[in-house]
Amino acid sequence: MTAAVKHFLDLDEIDAGTLRGLVDDAVAIKQGTAGTDRPLAGKTLAMIFEKPSTRTRVSFEVGMKQLGGEVVVLNGSELQLGRGETVADTARALSCYVDCIMMRTYEREKITEMAHHATVPVINGLTDHSHPCQLLADVMAYEEHRGPIRGKVVAWSGDGNNMASSWIHASVRFGFRLRIACPPERSPDPDLLAWARANGGEVELMHDPVAAVTDADCVVTDAWISMGDDDTSRHNLLAPYRVDETLMDRASEDAVFLHCLPAHRGEEVTPGVIDGPRSIVWDEAENRLHSQKAILTWCLS
């Protein structure tokens, strides 16, 4: 009997113990206390990008190489996929050559289909729906500054986008309370909130950023316009949700600020917050490297 392929598609599809273990592994990797030096020697990762990336691309590539493996980076438009070959056939072909596939794309269905047809693990490197890899780095950054995230209050102020979805998944899996403040028109998918409720999560959807942030332990935001989206009229709608010094001052005294980056200073966050003493965004960014290594090792073990 062959073991099931371990895909990393979304946090709601992976159990809490496994996710906790991945963050702990990432911490051990960062601290240099993880086991084998080059556990992925002889393995190759293919990365497909249908959207731009700085952190995800570089951290996966550097991480895979540091683990002893090889990387092939594929721009979606340069693949036959870009001129009509099916996702299923792309998955079958890549599975003949590589040991793992990471994909950044638009529709979540493409990743699901890739995983369905691939015979190697598939990692979700962001879709319009979610960004699960980022959340491991985010939880890790919070915990290295403030201790266990379980039972803490995280406030999201901004667009109810793919990052907000993954924060909803993470709140259930890591056991923290989540308050999401966003314009009603930009609320996360109601199915996600229903999933959180059904799984014992404490996720509150609100439309007042001050109410969401008051006494929170962690304040998070993200771009108002995500990749693949060009609705700039949304700026007016989202302006009240900007994380500025006044809003940040409503949070708990030792609250930290997170942003997955890239940031747009003056839009979703002011320079005073993102470049200020409560921001831990550069540890968050660094942790992408350590957590990608944990994910790759898990998928390929």
Cβ proximity to ligand NVA, 20 vs 57, nearer residue? 57
Q: φ, ψ for residue 177 (rounded to 5)? A: -85, 140
C-alpha distance across the termini of the chain, in Å: 16
Packing angle between helix 132-146 and helix 281-300, nearest 10 degrees? Answer: 120
Site for ligand CP, residues 41 to 70, rule: CB under 6 A: 53-56
CA 229 to chain centre: 18
DSSP 114-135: HHHH-SS-EEE---SS--HHHH
Considering beta carbons, is residue 48 or 260 the nearer one to ligand NVA? 260
CA–CA gap between residue 113 and residue 211 (Å, rounded): 40
Q: Which of 129, 152 has the CB closer to ligand NVA?
A: 129
User: Could you tell which of ligand NVA, ligand CP, none binds residue 226, using a CB distance below 5 to 8 A set by kind?
Assistant: ligand NVA
**Cα separation, 58 vs 128, whole angstroms:** 20
Minimum Å gap between C-beta 123 and ligand CP is 12
Q: Of these residues, 25, 99, 100, 104, which one is catalytic?
A: 104
For position 289 contacting ligand CP by CB under 6 A, the verdict is: no
Q: What is the dihedral of CA 76, 80, 85, 88, to 10 degrees?
A: -60
The least CB distance from residue 163 to ligand CP, in Å, is 8
Catalytic-labelled residue, pool 182, 218, 260, 299: 260
User: CA 96, CA 80: separation in Å to the nearest integer?
Assistant: 16
- With a CB cutoff of 8 Å and minimum separation 6, the contacts of 33 are none
CB-nearer residue toward ligand NVA: 222 or 284: 222
The least CB distance from residue 126 to ligand CP, in Å, is 6
Q: Enumerate binding residues for ligand NVA (CB under 6 A).
A: 126, 131, 161-163, 222-223, 226-227, 260
Please state, in angstroms and rounded to a whole number, the distance separating the CA atoms of residues 162 and 123.
16
Q: Is 134 a catalytic residue?
A: yes
Question: Which one of residues 130, 134, 165, 297 is an interface residue with ligand CP (CB under 6 A)?
Answer: 134
Chosen residue from 204, 261, 264, 286 binding ligand CP by CB under 6 A: 261
Q: For binding to ligand CP (CB under 6 A), which residues are involved? A: 53-56, 126, 134, 260-262
Query: Which residues carry out catalysis?
Result: 104, 131, 134, 222, 260, 288
